[in-house]
Amino acid sequence: MAVSLELENDELAVLFFHLQKSHQYSDDPVIEKVNFKLEALIYSRFSINEIEKYKNKVMNDTIMGEST
């Protein structure tokens, strides 16, 4: 089965880093496979500087409902 998503580049990057940040799904093999595919897309579409920008943005922000 295939799943198709239409995401802008910034949405794709934010989704990838949110999944990386979330430890809730770390043991899920399906999420792990999705994460590998997203990683391949991210590193093929973005420069290292862009990747770092999105990574820092997501990793430094707290998601609504999370306590600091």
**What DSSP string runs through 9-62?**
HHHHHHHHHHHHH-STTTT-HHHHHHHHHHHHHHHHHS-HHHHHHHHHHHHHSP
Residue 25 has a pLDDT of 67
State the pLDDT at residue 65: 47
Structure tokens at 56: 């820092």
Report the C-alpha gap between 23 and 50 in whole angstroms: 24
Domain housing 18? 14-60
67 falls in which pLDDT band (50, 70, 90)? very low
pLDDT at 29: 87
Number of structural domains found in the chain: 1
Quick check: is 2 in a domain? no
Residue 6 forms part of a structural domain? no
**Do residues 15 and 54 make contact, with C-beta atoms less than 8 angstroms apart?**
no
**Residue 53 belongs to a domain:** yes
47 is a domain residue: yes
Tens-digit pLDDT profile for residues 13-61: 888 888 888 777 668 888 888 888 889 988 898 899 988 888 888 888 7
62: which 2 tokens?
A: 């707290």
pTM for this prediction:
0.67
